[in-house]
Amino acid sequence: MTTTTPVHPGTHTPTDPRADTPVADHPTGGSLVERAAAIGPLLAEHAARHDLEGTFVAEADQALRDAGLLRAAVPVELGGEGATITELAAVQRELAHHCGATALASSMHQHVVAFTAWRYRRGLPGAEATLRKVAEDGVLLVSTGGGDFTHPRGEAVPVEGGYRVSGRKRFASQAHHGSVMSTMFTLDDPEQGRRVLNMAVPLSAEGVRVIDTWDTLGMRGTESHDIVLENVFVPDEKVLANRPYGVVDPPLQVIASVAFPIISGVYLGVAEAAYAEAIRAAGPRAGDPLVQRTIGLMRHRLQVAEWALDGALALIGDDPAPSPERFLAAMSAKAEVARAGIEVCDLAMDVAGGPAFFRGSVIERAYRDIRAAKFHPLTPEATLVETGRRALGVPGLLP
């Protein structure tokens, strides 16, 4: 498969204190983005095959480990790189230039680690132990938040020493390859009413099964299969939060503020890859005003999407406090990236013409992969509704 180096529409320059370290010095040398770029050719080499087969991007997973990228969000003192949310978004964006499925799958691990680091900085229980396992043992975390969010699938029943949980979780990226699942279950509390319990569940626990359901339009290499839990025991110490049901409460505001800029970086990178391939395909017709306008529109949409993401990251900061404004900033940026990304990939198909219609084309894969951007909560339309509610003072998901 032919790949090209994406042409960035803006001047986005991720910062990293190791930026001056040569990549060749050691396997994990160089800035985080430089390391992501260095393994890019390997990711691209296998991307089309995993997309066609619907199989996990195993070579990419190993390359990410070897480059130290899966421990990027772990604090330095615990054996990681101490990466910020902005740096993680930039890393996932670079990975997506080469393989969208690799970038999206690993982003699910990255944002859980980043939120765990947020918890560690506040001395919350279990955070340090989890981060050390990521850094020292290579533990891969699986998130079910995309399918759960404010209305989780499954129930928790109190028992001595903890809970018994049962339910079916969808969109669990890396399901066959993860070690621990960051998930949620509902609890009917006689005093507080319906609640949501955030908890960590080992994928090796008795009663946990992965069901092979991932046969999708795009992002096929993520292997985001269903996970079924049947009467699984979760001890009290593995329950990380007890939250109200059906709302974006302060803990969920933080989770979203951390997670969705990182995930948005993936989709921006996918669109940039399609744009770069369109530039290459347009070369022989560069004098055509229609081609010029189309390329100009693509660049414009990517630039505005980049500004939206950068603006959200600036508002959210490196260590966000709970905030409806930060939550809506993350959601607004994600919505802008989704809309722009879909439009850019559509236009790239127009510019490249017939060859982009064939399997194996970078643009054809990006055209399908980018569609997944609209399925993460909140959807672009739901984001508009919630933003309007906030402006009008009308009750909604935000308390």
Mean pLDDT of all residues in 224-235: 98
* pLDDT score of 20: 35
Q: How confident is the model at residue 241 (pLDDT cuts 50, 70, 90)?
A: very high
- Mean pLDDT across the chain, nearest whole number? 93
- Render the burial of 323-342: b for 16+ CB within 10 Å, e for the rest: bbebbbbbbbbbbbbbbbbb
- The domain in which residue 160 lies consists of 143-244
Mean pLDDT of 146-161: 96
Q: In whole angstroms, what is the distance from residue 375 CA to residue 377 CA?
A: 6
State the average pLDDT over residues 197-207.
98
> Could you tell me if 163 and 89 lie in one domain?
no
Q: Are residues 258 and 362 located together in one domain of the fold?
A: yes
pLDDT for the residue 78: 98
Query: 11 pLDDT band (50/70/90 cuts)?
Result: very low
**Average confidence (pLDDT) over 339-343:** 98
Q: Which of 10-14, 93-97, 290-294 has the lowest mean pLDDT?
A: 10-14
The pLDDT confidence band at residue 1, using thresholds 50, 70 and 90, is very low
* Same-domain status, 99 and 156: no
End-to-end CA distance of the chain: 49
- What was the pLDDT predicted at 196? 98
Q: Is residue 14 part of a domain?
A: no
**pLDDT band at residue 200 under the 50/70/90 scheme:** very high
Same domain for 183 and 265, yes or no, is no
pLDDT computed for residue 23 by the predictor: 34
Are 342 and 283 within one domain?
Answer: yes
Shared domain for 116 and 197, answered yes or no, is no
Q: How many structural domains is the chain composed of?
A: 3
On the question of pLDDT at 222 being above 60, the answer is yes
- Using 50, 70 and 90 to split pLDDT, how confident is the model at 28? low
Which residues of the chain form beta strands (DSSP E)?
141-143, 155-159, 162-172, 180-189, 193-202, 208-211, 225-235, 239-244
- Flag whether 10 is in a domain: no
Q: Return the minimum-mean-pLDDT range out of 62-66, 145-149, 333-337.
A: 145-149
Residue 71 lies in a domain: yes
Please give the pLDDT value at position 29: 75
CATH code of 223's domain:
2.40.110.10
Listed residues 139, 173, 192: the one ending a domain: 139
